[in-house]
Structure 1
Amino acid sequence: MTRYSLFALTFFVGAFYYAALPWKISFLSVELKLKFNAK
């Protein structure tokens, strides 16, 4: 694997992670609200 392909792979994974991060945060906050409301 060349340095360029490794950089591209890292960039792709990083971009995907940052794109999915707000989704995870909003999902966790909704889950926490449901758990607190259930009690």
Structure 2
Amino acid sequence: PSSTDTSTIPHNSTDNASSNLLPVIIDSSPVPPRPQ
């Protein structure tokens, strides 16, 4: 199962993945409408 593969990955890889996810989450967050 993929869960077993994830546990096999060293912590460094997991930290890098979470760090890469942070900017993506911020970018995907809705931008407040600017005053016209």
1:2 maps onto 2:10 in alignment? yes
Matched residue count: 25
Provide TM-score, normalisation by structure 2: 0.50
Structure 2: 5+ residue stretches without partners:
1-8
Stretches (4+) displaced over 6 A: none
TM-score for both structures, normalised by structure 1: 0.48
Residue matched to 1:33: none
1:15 aligned onto 2:23: yes
Give 1 or 2 for the bigger CA radius of gyration: 1
Aligned-pair distance for 1:14?
1.0
Quote the sequence identity (%): 4
